[in-house]
Amino acid sequence: MRILVVGSGGREHAIVWKLSQSKRVEKIFCAPGNGGIKELAEIVDIKADDIQGLLDFAKNNKIDLTVVGPETALVKGIVDIFTKEGLKIFGPSKELAILEGSKIFAKSAMQKFKVPTAGFKIFDNPLNAKKYLNEKGVPLVIKADGLAAGKGVIIPKTIEEGEKAIDAIMVEKVFGDSGKRIILEDCLEGEEASMLIFTDGKTIAPLESSQDHKRIFDNDKGPNTGGMGAYSPAPVVTKDILGYVMKNVFTPVIDGLKKEGKIYKGVLYAGLMITKNGPMVLEFNVRFGDPETQAILPRLESDLVDIMLACISGTLDKIDVKWDKRPCLSVVCASKGYPDKYEKNKEITGLEQTKKMKDVIIFHAGTKNENGRIVTIGGRVLDVTGLGKDIKSARVNAYKAVEKIRFDGIQYRKDIGARALFHKTSMTCFVK
């Protein structure tokens, strides 16, 4: 098979890496890819949201399966366009990708299907939103309705800060039309976890749980980022919690949509807050998580091509999705300045040494191969990933590899997975 993977981050490198292990795969292309993906796939110079460009490429190059990493093309309807042309593509249709494309749509679906989530109100007018903020006080969560490159959620510390955020989104339109409407949502307390499923719209196969680390600095300090590391499984997702989420989140959504004649195909990601009253959904994403995928896919034993084709053809019930029991942990190495303006074009050394290390995989994100030299071009540069018999040894393996890698201004968190080491099960002993 000839496969096209769309995207250029660590998530896409992990997807390409896993697909490349399938005996069914003859050749992989990746648009636009990165310096690490280049070792496994032919890089194609087409942007990840250039649907027409991707379609032309897929047709001209006899692509048998297209896999889309980031959300933008999915929300724009790439799956419908490819499917109409008779091309196989993994992911949900446009009318369901809106579960990520509109937080208001997602919250309404959660309400309709009785999925546990925070209380909320929708506003299309900044004055009413500010009035509500003043009535409710802080903490309150402000969310732009549409896509905002992961920056559309603000948790203000003061009313004044909240009013500024409402104005920025609705009046100054910092996220464009994505901020036409906003949600004001109750602030939940607890521990976050990510749970994903593969589905063909009928059968649901859960992926192993994981946990992201969103803040830039150790101990969850500093501004939010795209994610500074992840590990899988997340001990906070006990067997009980997994069962609860399958029963109260994924099954009602997938079955409820099916009853409306809407067949969700692909991966569905639920961002969860595990509160003392049980798990609540913070958001849905219609794609794999980044950096969660870098810690999840190394644990997948089954053939990813088989799973993806089964999701497309509606035969997921025929597939036994198997997982390696060993935990996996991935540390993001980022450029100086990230998540604000960051440095670029720094040469990365030490990668060759890490290739010889056992149970270590390096996924590239913001890198490019410049005549054999690997240089930084993005904020998040590498996902240094370790497997181990337990989370402690996965962590040791990942950090041993991190120590080999050098580039000017490298920054990374030293505490990825630390919480998992000391996890107290008492946090999760809710009864439902």
**Residues engaged in binding ligand GLY (CB under 6 A):** 212, 227, 285, 289-290, 292
Q: 192 touches which of ligand AMP, ligand GLY, none (CB within 5 to 8 A by kind)?
A: ligand AMP
Q: Quote the Cα angle for 110-112-114, to 5°.
A: 60
Whether omega for the bond prior to residue 116 falls within 30 degrees of 0, making it cis, is no
Smallest separation (angstroms) from ligand AMP to the CB of 320: 31
**What is the per-residue burial (b if ≥16 Cβ within 10 Å, else e) of 182-206?**
bbbbeebebbbbbbbbbbbbebbbb
Smallest separation (angstroms) from ligand AMP to the CB of 295: 16
Smallest separation (angstroms) from ligand AMP to the CB of 334: 18
Q: 197 touches which of ligand GLY, ligand AMP, none (CB within 5 to 8 A by kind)?
A: none
Residues in the chain: 432
Residue nearest to ligand GLY (CB): 289
Q: 188 touches which of ligand AMP, ligand GLY, none (CB within 5 to 8 A by kind)?
A: ligand AMP
Percent composition of the chain: helix, strand, coil (DSSP 3-state, to 5): 35, 25, 40
Q: 227 touches which of ligand GLY, ligand AMP, none (CB within 5 to 8 A by kind)?
A: ligand GLY
* 137 torsion bin: left (phi>0), alpha (psi -120 to 50), beta (else): left
Nearer residue to ligand GLY within complex by CB, 57 or 284: 284
Smallest separation (angstroms) from ligand AMP to the CB of 428: 18
Look up residue 248 and give its DSSP letter: I
Smallest separation (angstroms) from ligand AMP to the CB of 283: 3
Smallest separation (angstroms) from ligand AMP to the CB of 116: 12
Nearer residue to ligand AMP within complex by CB, 182 or 188: 188
240 three-class SS: helix
Q: 268 touches which of ligand AMP, ligand GLY, none (CB within 5 to 8 A by kind)?
A: none
Q: 100 touches which of ligand AMP, ligand GLY, none (CB within 5 to 8 A by kind)?
A: none
Nearer residue to ligand AMP within complex by CB, 38 or 213: 213
Nearer residue to ligand GLY within complex by CB, 162 or 227: 227
Q: How many CB atoms lie within 10 A of CB 52?
A: 9
Q: 141 touches which of ligand AMP, ligand GLY, none (CB within 5 to 8 A by kind)?
A: ligand AMP
Place of tokens 């070792």: 39
Residue nearest to ligand AMP (CB): 283
Q: Tokens standing for 27? A: 């050749």
Chain contacts with ligand AMP (rule: CB under 6 A): 118, 141, 143, 153, 155, 185, 187-188, 192, 214, 271, 282-283
121 three-class SS: strand
Q: 285 touches which of ligand GLY, ligand AMP, none (CB within 5 to 8 A by kind)?
A: ligand GLY
Concatenating the DSSP letter of every residue in 320-372 gives ---B-SS-EEEEEEE-TTTTSS----PBPB-HHHHHTSTTEEEEESSEEEETT
* Element spanning 275, H or E: strand 266-275
Smallest separation (angstroms) from ligand GLY to the CB of 227: 4
Q: How many CB atoms lie within 10 A of CB 425?
A: 9
